[in-house]
């Protein structure tokens, strides 16, 4: 089973939207498990209203999402961990050096030179357009990580 984890700060904006969009991308595949967590998350918080709205526009449901913190157990279960920013990547590598071989920056594999190596901007506190820009970046980045996983997966 491929177990994909998306990590941001609070697990209410970016990573839940990445989770639901990626789950939709791989919905025809039975060998994927997808979740999200936050470096500084308070467990039990709902997804942001703007992320819920963007998901709903795609026919996806984020209303039952509840935030969770990154823990040893969550990291251990994941086969692929994608940080949404370089600061999340650094924190993951500092806290879980034993998992270094499965931790990546989300934008690391894109063929889009304008996005490769960049952070997915944090829309927290912003308006719907900030969230829409974040979603557009996720739409461009998620297929490349799917291709990476499929090309490199070794059970």
Active site residues: 8, 14, 122
* CA-based nearest residue to 105, from 137, 133, 60: 137
The CA-atom distances, in angstroms, between 15 and each of 3, 152, 154 are 15, 23, 25
Pairing of strands 80-83, 2-8: parallel
């Amino acid at each position: 089973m491929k177990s994909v984890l998306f990590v941001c700060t609070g697990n209410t904006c970016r990573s839940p939207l990445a989770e639901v969009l990626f789950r939709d991308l791989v919905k025809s595949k039975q060998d994927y498990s997808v979740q999200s967590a936050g470096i500084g998350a308070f467990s039990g918080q709902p997804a942001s209203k703007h992320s819920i709205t963007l998901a709903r526009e795609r026919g996806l449901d984020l209303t039952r999402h509840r935030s969770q913190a990154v823990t040893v157990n969550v990291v251990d279960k994941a086969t692929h961990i994608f940080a949404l920013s370089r600061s999340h990547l650094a924190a993951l590598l500092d806290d879980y050096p034993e998992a270094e071989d499965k931790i990546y920056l989300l934008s690391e594999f894109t063929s889009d030179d304008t996005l490769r190596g960049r952070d997915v901007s944090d829309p927290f506190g912003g308006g719907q357009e900030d969230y829409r820009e974040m979603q557009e970046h996720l739409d461009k980045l998620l297929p490349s990580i799917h291709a990476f996983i499929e090309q490199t997966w070794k059970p």
